[in-house]
Structure 1
């Protein structure tokens, strides 16, 4: 008998199975007059035929009654004061005034005793839980120290005598990771002298640059603002209406609106691309490129001085 595909619905499977099981049509009539689907109530999930997939349906894990949640951390690291007497006194405060139990009613006395028991149980439970945690931490630390000591002992122990005698010995000269210097003593001495000279030259250049910067700072110290009058004069000069006209008279008698009108606009993307396509020899021969480079360097220097607040 052929296997019925599982992607067919129940009625189709029944019809196909009936066809396969009875090759010749039968003229007999069944006694039951109820349709197959009529035997299933509408409340049943199998009332509507849904094709079953070849892959099994995912069934979630059944919840087991009595499963305990993950306990929270009672003594976190950021609260080392929890088991202290000060913390216990703050969470279980005593009454400010002594309570006379002889004057309390039966219900008030019951509540008073219940409150005292709750405070007592809270204090005792915190103390006992802290002791239990300390004991568990000590056991864990002891096992960890034992494992680390055992690991260090195994790493540092010497090889067995039979392994040492039967292992292959590799000379130092044949070690592939060893770096051999095949140069002569004269060559090594010359290389050492060259490197020493390079270090001395770099140190001298660095000292010269520092001295030049210090001298520049000393020469520009006369323009530093040291009082309020100089500050007001500098503000009036920077925000003057004719500030840019002092740099240049303008083009064809027009008033300059910014510093770019006086010194020219910086290079754009097109100018940079054109300069990059020019050969170095043509760039050296054309004085315009050299002047533009010096102008850009001066602008960057002035911008850096404005941002840093000092001369560069």
Structure 2
């Protein structure tokens, strides 16, 4: 085909070089396929072979929540809905006979036929729903009884030999309880023993309470209840500003460390063994006080 007259008149030098370059197909610098140009977060980043047809059925997504079906056989009258009396009262036959003459005779006959169809459909639907309800109740009751029977069988089944041999040792009371031979009601002797133990425990509590009350009464004479007694106790423990309490033999030391290091355990034990001197006198008084408290039955 010869070139057109317009293109022949235009010289090659006057043609646009940019247009000429754009007409040339550009080659990509990358030799990868277009599939690998996807980002890593794309599900198609790794090519996984897929079958031509899915091998699992797709689950239909049901949106929303289905309402709880109401019980249509709830008895609100003295007649059951599946009984003949209820169906007869709900689907009464018409009292008006068929109109065979007049301009509206055909329309009235059609309406009567439709009413008869509705009555038959209502009777049939009620009976079918009643049979379906009875079948569902039967299946539910059988399933419940089967589950209860399985539970009773599992509870009452005998212990396996491997479990009996590998069980840790248990006490006699627990074995009797598991075997069902544990005596729940106490006998007369057990009841008498329990009553005596309870009386002894209550008596011990009463004696402990009485001893604590007597100890409180004896120690109450040293309680500080007034400001004068508080001042006397402070002066006895710390002294006054003119005559503070000293810690040395001369009663002039202001620190207990001026007398030297405190007594060791060995030194205190030696003081207890040696009953001579002031240490023996203090120990003898403590022992006499304890003996008197035991004899009198209270604190001194």
**TM tier, shorter chain?**
0.3 to 0.5
Q: Which has the higher contact order (CA 8 A, sep 6+)?
A: 1
TM-score (norm 2): 0.34
TM-score (norm 1): 0.33
